[in-house]
Amino acid sequence: MSEGVINKLKLQGFEPALVDELMLIGRKRSVKKDAVVIAKDDVLGEIPFVIEGLLKLMRSDGGNELFLYYLNSGETCAMSINCCLEGTRKPISVIAEEDSLLWMVPASAIDSLVRKYQGFRRFVFRTYQERFDEMLAALDSIAFLKMDERVIKYLLDKKQALGSFEIHMTHQEIARDLNTSRVVVSRLLKQLEKEGRIEQHRNRIEIL
DNA sequence: ACATTAATTGTGT
DNA sequence: ACACAATTAATGT
């Protein structure tokens, strides 16, 4: 069982000793679809590595939520690392988009891992870089795209991340992720359907 | 098979 | 944004 975890870690360019140490100090965590992995304003004791599945990171501010980006298998959350090192809270939450398998590493260990292993150091830099790019993309879409384009982008991103042309969501749920109203999403999806770009069924959207 | 109901989706103002 | 209509799925009889 932990074979899968080990292999995933090795793929990150981690040296054997690092993998051993991660296996030793970490623990497995399985989450079901829609489970809250990190709630807003949590103080994190552990950092989640995605072994299998898919997480989505949301910006949360008061009652509002906004989808920022996905965390794929093999990735981890730069926000959490930052959060752990500084011991601060962040107004974000992480939700399981699918049933997922995580490897939780104690926050207290991160500091020494970074010092000890070049592979880990690189990994951290790389995740920061990748997340920064994702953030930039998310910012662009909010700043420069109209809502209809944002919906399209959202669907395509989701298709990409999910590896499926079928998206099982209600208009209401999509609206929440984009921080807009259900009615707006319904109208735009209807339009897309007329244009022949999607097909709609109840709780399900098919991208053509 | 039919009726009832709740949730989701569509549309006009 | 709100209100309401229409459609769909689920459930019980």
Dist CA A5 CA A176 (whole Å): 33
Report pLDDT for A59: 92
Q: Helices A182-194 and A147-162 sit at what angle, rounded to 10 degrees? A: 80
Dist CA A16 CA A202 (whole Å): 49
Report pLDDT for A63: 78
- Whole-number distance in Å between A134 CA and B11 C1': 36
- Whole-number distance in Å between A202 CA and B3 C1': 22
**A168 CB inside 7 Å of strand B:** no
* Closest residue to C8 measured CA to C1′: A202
* Residue A30: strand pairing partners: A101
Give me the tens of pLDDT residue by residue for chain A, a chain 208 residues long.
567 776 766 677 889 999 999 999 999 999 999 999 998 888 888 999 999 999 999 998 877 899 999 999 989 989 888 887 787 888 899 999 999 999 999 999 998 999 999 999 999 999 999 999 999 999 999 999 999 999 999 999 999 999 999 999 999 999 999 999 999 999 999 999 999 999 999 999 999 8
Contact A186, A171 (CB under 8 A): yes
**A204 CB inside 7 Å of strand C:** no
Report pLDDT for A40: 85
For the entire predicted model, the pTM comes to 0.88
Report pLDDT for A9: 67
- Whole-number distance in Å between A83 CA and C12 C1': 51
Residue A199 is inside which H or E element, if any? strand A198-201
**A179 CB inside 7 Å of strand C:** no
Report pLDDT for A86: 81
Report pLDDT for A37: 94
Strand B positions with any atom < 7 Å from protein CB?
7-12
Report pLDDT for A170: 95
**A201 CB inside 7 Å of strand C:** yes
Half-sphere exposure of A1 (CA within 13 A, CB side): 7
**A183 CB inside 7 Å of strand C:** yes
**A200 CB inside 7 Å of strand B:** yes
Nearest nt to the CA of A180 via C1' is: C1
Dist CA A73 CA A133 (whole Å): 18
Strand C positions with any atom < 7 Å from protein CB?
1-3, 8-9
Report pLDDT for A8: 66
**A11 CB inside 7 Å of strand B:** no
Report pLDDT for A56: 95
Give strand ranges (E) for A32-171. 36-38, 46-52, 54-61, 64-72, 92-96, 100-106, 166-167
